[in-house]
Amino acid sequence: MQNIGLFLVFWYGVLHAFGPDHLTAITDFSIGKNKTKTLLITVLFALGHGSMLFIFAKILEIYQISDALLGYGDMISSTVILGMGCYLLFMVATDKIHIKKHHHAGQGHLHLHFGREHAHDKTDTTSSFTIGALMGIGGVRGMLITLGAIQGQQVDFSLVLAFTLGVMVVFVGFGGIILYINQTLLNNERNVRRIFATAGVVSILVGANMFLG
């Protein structure tokens, strides 16, 4: 029974990751990143998502919380997506997204930076973990329904690991698509502006649809 339960949670993680809000968030963070950063972003997003969902699921094992209150988790996810979309459109409108091309060890690289100065930092990777954690709150209800399907099994580390692996499979695969876009389309300032603007508009539409839904 335990193996069946792990498979169900893994499969729920796969289906859960295909949500437009998750793929939108991965897109927003992965645009313009190299292979290593894209992989880090997708993995950290999945880890943050699974960790937060585990924490809240454990809390709900102890305390009875109404379904209406759980609905606020969906509002948090919607707000995150809307905020990211507005931020991207603001950066495009104020001309604060720039592309730089240079070479390391004979290989060409491109870097996107925000603002006037170019800097190598880890803000985008750490932020992906945080955003993944915030959006994990919105998945608590679905996780509880899945756990109910395996006869009320308690939430333990193996279940969280199965869920996180399911999410990670989809996120890393989708990150590969974004990486292809980065390598083939982000080759000039005009394309950069268009792609970021498109990502911003999509984020706003997805977030607004989540609120209305």
The lowest-confidence range among 30-44, 96-110, 187-201 is: 96-110
The lowest-confidence range among 3-7, 11-15, 44-48 is: 3-7
Average pLDDT of every residue of the chain? 77
* pLDDT band at residue 27 using 50, 70 and 90 as cut-offs: confident
**Percent of the chain residues past pLDDT 70, beyond the cut:** 70
The pTM assigned to this predicted structure is 0.76
Q: Answer whether 175's CB lies under 8 Å from 42's CB.
A: yes
> What confidence score (pLDDT) does residue 66 get?
61
Q: CB-based contacts of 84: which residues, under 8 Å, 6+ apart? A: 24, 25, 28, 131, 200, 203
**Percent of the chain residues past pLDDT 90, beyond the cut:** 9
Bridge partners of 116, per DSSP, are none
CA dihedral for 38, 40, 43, 48, sign (positive or negative): negative
